[in-house]
């Protein structure tokens, strides 16, 4: 994501908790931006920005309390009336769990097979246990498998709306990124795994 924004002329600033990913991002960005080692619930970059993006359901890794702290920190880093675009999937309580994601990716002589699926989903309690599996198909680490379990927050349209109402932000638009072509604007009560929420101060 940082590289894609930088390629479009944006001066990019990002954060990540992983020192290795921070270093990798810095190498890829070069002089077009910077990435800092920081936790998304507690960071201070010393300036405010014209806008921000948080993709790939990253906010699901936060508990509701952590989300509140994150949104407070973001509000201190954005200019008034700027936009914070976040991707957060929403489900209804009686809805079937989403199908897992399975795909392959390659770069140079390295190819991977990736799987991501819900092991457990409880929308009443707002919790989800998700499992990721990455298999190295080719390259120096061919045959290696990395598996992780992620304790996530599961949001419904109602619980997400409550969280935003309790934050400094308001949601001004919702888009369905799961549809091909230009993302259509949808009602705030929509559900789906690729919903984008446009937030403003």
pLDDT in tens, 73-87: 999 999 999 999 999
Least confidently predicted of 12-21, 25-34, 141-150: 25-34
Residue 74 pLDDT? 98
* CATH 2.20.25.110 segments of the chain: 101-152
By CB atoms closer than 10 A (0-12, 13-18, 19+), residue 109 is exposed
Question: Which whole number is the average pLDDT over 9-30?
Answer: 91
Check residue 146 and give left, alpha or beta (phi > 0: left; psi -120 to 50: alpha).
beta
Q: Which residues of the chain does CATH 3.40.50.150 include?
A: 39-90+155-200
pLDDT value for 76 = 97
0.85 cut: is pTM over it? yes
Residue 97 is predicted with a pLDDT of 74
Q: Which CATH architecture has domain 101-152?
A: Single Sheet (2.20)
Query: What percentage of the chain has pLDDT greater than the value 70?
Result: 100
Q: How far is CA 42 from the centre of its chain?
A: 17
Residue range 39-90+155-200, CATH number:
3.40.50.150
DSSP 134-173: EEEEESTTTT-EEEEEEEEE-B-HHHHHHHHHTSS-EEEE
């Amino acid at each position: 994501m940082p590289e894609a924004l930088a390629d479009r002329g944006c001066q990019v600033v990002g954060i990540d908790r992983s020192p290795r990913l921070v270093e990798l991002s810095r190498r890829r960005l070069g002089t077009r931006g910077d990435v800092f080692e920081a936790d998304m619930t507690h960071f201070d970059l010393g300036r405010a920005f014209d806008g921000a993006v948080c993709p790939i359901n990253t906010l699901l890794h936060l508990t509701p309390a952590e989300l509140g702290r994150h949104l407070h920190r973001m509000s201190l880093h954005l200019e008034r009336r700027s936009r914070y675009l976040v991707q957060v999937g929403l489900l209804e309580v009686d809805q079937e769990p989403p199908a897992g994601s399975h795909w392959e990716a390659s770069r140079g002589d390295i190819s991977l097979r990736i799987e991501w699926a819900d092991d457990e989903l409880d929308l009443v309690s707002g919790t989800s246990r998700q499992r990721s599996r990455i298999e190295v198909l080719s390259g120096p680490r061919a045959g290696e498998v990395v598996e992780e379990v992620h304790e996530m927050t599961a949001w419904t349209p109602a619980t997400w709306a409550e969280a935003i109402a309790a934050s400094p932000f308001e949601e001004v638009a919702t888009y369905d990124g799961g549809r091909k072509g230009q993302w259509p604007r949808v009602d705030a009560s929509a559900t789906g795994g690729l919903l984008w929420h446009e937030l403003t101060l």
